[in-house]
Amino acid sequence: MTAIDTELAIRARDLRKEYGSAEGLVRAVNGVNIDIARGEALAIMGPSGCGKSTLLHLLGGLDRASGGELWMRDLRLDQMNEKQLAQLRRSEIGFVFQAFHLMDELTARENVELPVLLAGRPQSEARRRATELLGEVGLSDRADHLPSALSGGQRQRVAIARALANEPIVVLADEPTGNLDSAATLDVLELFQRIHTAGQTLVIVTHDERIAATADRLITMRDGAFVDETVLRGGTVGPLGAYLGLEG
């Protein structure tokens, strides 16, 4: 049993996820080992169907692993029950989806307020937090618009604000620019960079080289496993750079 390093945000050992059985068995995630440092920005790339989304769902407690061990800080995810996982998602994880997945009938502000309310915080606090975050993502003037009145890029920025609402340990983004045109992609890219600079741990699955280039580290997946790992210079330096240096 490995001791938990408190500098780590996420640690996975021999993480596996299988679908189906016998002939139809799919090893969507096949023995992944990973350490993600606090404040690190990690990019994951790979061909469609190689298991990127599945891995992200496992890391975020949206799905359960078939085997292996998984920690978030000192919390052991693979031994948690549904309720504990839900509580974890509520307070420690922020998700950003390709399809945004905003609530259609809620305004931008209400969408950002939602996780704060779900965490049982008072409405006044939710409102304050939402206003602040919408300001940070540059959408103060769109706070009372419904998602249907926003562009794709704006929707994704609302979704990112929502993901940050409860100050999570890690933000997990699954192809966040997959549905966006290049102008909107740049906006979102910039936003991620800013979040990263502010010290937020990030895991981004992407097909976009430009986004991958902003990360501290790039992992390439194939058939459910890591096939390549590159430590990039473009990312943040400092304590975690040093940490990565030790590993590398």
Partner 1 sequence: MSRFVLILRLAARDFRRRRGEAAMLLVVIAAATTALTLGLVLRGVTTQPYEQTRQLTAGPDAVATAFPYHSGLPSNPTGLAKVSPIAQAPDVRASSGPFPVAFPVMTAHGHTDAVLAEGRSSSAALVDQPKLTQGSWVRPGGVVVERSFADALGIHVGDQVILNGRKFHVAGIAVTAALPTSGLGFLEASSRWPNPGLVWLSKAAARSMATRAQPLGYILDVKLAQPAEAESFANRYTASGNYRNNTGTPYVMPWQAISQQDGLLMRTDQKILLIGSWLLGLLAVGSLAILVGGRMAEQRRRVGLLKAVGATPSFVASVLLAEYLGIALAAAALGLFLGRLVAPLLTSPSTAMLGTAGAPQFTVETAAIVLLAAVIVAGLATVVPALRAARTSTVDALADSSSPPKRRSWLVTRSARLPVSMLLAVRVGARRPRRVLLNVLSIAVTVSGIAALLFARATIAASQFGSDTSGSANFNQFDVGFVSKTAREDQVLLIVSILLVALAAVNAVFITRATVQDSQHTSAIMRALGVEPGQLTAGLSVAQVLPAFAGALIGIPGGFALFTLANQGGGASQPPAWWLIAVVAATVIVIAGLTSIPASWGARRPVAEILQAEAS
Ligand X SMILES: Nc1ncnc2c1ncn2[C@@H]1O[C@H](COP(=O)(O)OP(=O)(O)O)[C@@H](O)[C@H]1O
**Footprint on this chain of ligand X (rule: CB under 6 A):** 19, 26, 28, 46, 48-54
Three-state SS at 176: coil
Closest to partner 1 by CB, 115 vs 153, is 115
Contact pick of 30, 53, 193, 206 for partner 1 (by CB under 8 A): 53
Cα separations (Å) of 118 from 60, 90, 114, 140, 173?
17, 8, 6, 22, 21
- Tell the smallest beta-carbon distance from residue 187 to partner 1 (Å): 21
Backbone phi and psi for residue 73, each to the nearest 5 degrees, phi listed first: 50, -120
Q: Does 129 bind partner 1 (CB under 8 A)?
A: no
CB of 134 to partner 1, least distance (A): 16
Nearer to ligand X, 68 or 138 (CB): 68
**Among all chains, which residue has been given the structure tokens 């919408």?**
134
By Cβ distance, which residue is nearest to Mg ion? 53
Cβ-based nearer residue to ligand X, 53 or 107: 53
- 86's CB contacts (< 8 A; 6+ apart) are none
Measured CA distances, 39 to 52, 107, 165, 168, 226 (Å): 21, 31, 17, 12, 21
Binding-site ranges for Mg ion (CB under 5 A): 53
What stretch of H or E contains 197?
Answer: helix 182-197
Among 2, 3, 25, 120, binds partner 1 (CB under 8 A): 120
Q: Which of 13, 29, 12, 33 is nearest to 66 (CA)?
A: 29
Q: Among residues 30 and 111, whose Cβ is nearest to partner 1?
A: 111
Closest by Cα among 146, 203, 197, 138 to 175: 203
Q: Does 126 interact with partner 1 (rule: CB under 8 A)?
A: yes
**According to CB under 8 A, which one of 5, 7, 18, 63 is a site residue for partner 1?**
63
Question: Does position 95 bind partner 1 by CB under 8 A?
Answer: yes
Instruction: Give the DSSP H/E element, type plus range, for residue 36.
Output: strand 26-37
- Identify what 176 binds: Mg ion, ligand X, partner 1, none; CB under 5 to 8 Å per kind: none
Binding site partner of 50, from partner 1, Mg ion, ligand X, none, Cβ cut-off 5-8 A by kind: ligand X
Please report, as residue ranges, which positions from 226 to 245 form the binding site for partner 1 (by CB under 8 A). none
Q: Between the CA atoms of 113, 115, 119 and 125, what dihedral angle is there, to the nearest 10 degrees?
A: -20
Strand order in the sheet with 75-76: 26-37, 8-19, 67-72, 75-76
The residue (of 37 and 88) whose beta carbon lies closer to partner 1 is: 88
Burial classification of residue 179, based on how many CB atoms lie within 10 Å of its CB (0-12 exposed, 13-18 middle, 19 or more buried): middle
Distance of closest approach, residue 62 Cβ to ligand X, in angstroms: 12
Residues that bind partner 1 (CB under 8 A): 53-54, 57, 62-63, 82-83, 86-91, 93, 95, 97-99, 101-106, 110, 113-115, 117-120, 123, 126, 146, 148, 162
